[in-house]
Amino acid sequence: MSTLVAKSSILLVLTFMLVFPSVLATKNPFKESKPCKRLVFYFHDTLFNGTDTTNATSAAVANITGLDRKHKFGLLVVFNDPLTKDHHLLSPPVGRAQGFYFFDMKDDYSAWLAYTLVFNSSEHKGTLNIMGADLIYEKTRDLSVVGGTGDFFMARGICTIQTDTIQDDYYFRLKMDIKLYECY
């Protein structure tokens, strides 16, 4: 009888140890909070058109596939674009957006972006890393801020992008509203 009680007691303790941490983990649900830092920048992309090497800030490095030319499926572009505080291309840059994007859908315009904002101004030093899907026809799209360095050490948050202007296939400007929720 005493061995049955001992086994039951051990089983009860083990069950309690397994259940109790999961109860504690769900005790505090996620609460949306205000960002610890908010930044707004404009990202200016001028795609190399075959002749304008002076002004180009991006270039296609993999061509469109034969699967879908209309939506540019498979096109891979690398960029080193100026980053400004306002929508004017010739405003003083506060940094550079360096990375790549590729068109990833055959039946709609959609791209996947991964880039680093490299700051070189007296106001900000360091980098922010941003990545995610860009459903181009949506008015606003959210990308993940997945880290950073310097003033943005280990930052986490959301970068809401909005297409500010498009000129042919060779120039576009994105407005980036960056909200950081983890700042160290």
Q: Which parts of the chain are beta strand (E)?
A: 37-46, 58-62, 76-84, 95-103, 111-120, 125-134, 141-150, 156-167, 171-182
Nearest to 94 by CA among 84, 102, 86, 107: 84
* Residue of 44, 108, 47 whose CA lies nearest to 77: 47
* Torsion from C-alpha of 60, 66, 71, 75, nearest 10 degrees: -20
What is residue 9's predicted lDDT score, i.e. its pLDDT? 55
Q: Is residue 85 a contact partner of residue 41, using CB atoms and an 8 Å limit?
A: yes
pLDDT in tens, the chain (184 residues): 555 555 555 554 545 555 555 545 555 554 668 999 999 999 999 999 888 889 999 999 987 777 767 778 888 999 999 999 999 999 999 999 999 999 887 878 889 999 999 998 888 999 999 999 998 889 999 999 999 999 999 999 999 999 999 998 889 999 999 999 998 8
H or E element, residue 11: helix 2-25
The one-character DSSP state at 64 is P
Cα–Cα dist 22/144, whole Å: 28
Predicted pLDDT at 3: 58
**How does strand 37-46 pair with strand 58-62?**
unpaired
> In one letter, which amino acid is 3?
T
Q: What is the pLDDT of residue 23?
A: 47
Tokens of 11: 């089983």
Q: Which two tokens stand for residue 78?
A: 């690398």
Residue 105, pLDDT score? 79
Q: What is the pTM of this model?
A: 0.79
> Which domains does the chain carry?
33-182 (2.40.480.10)
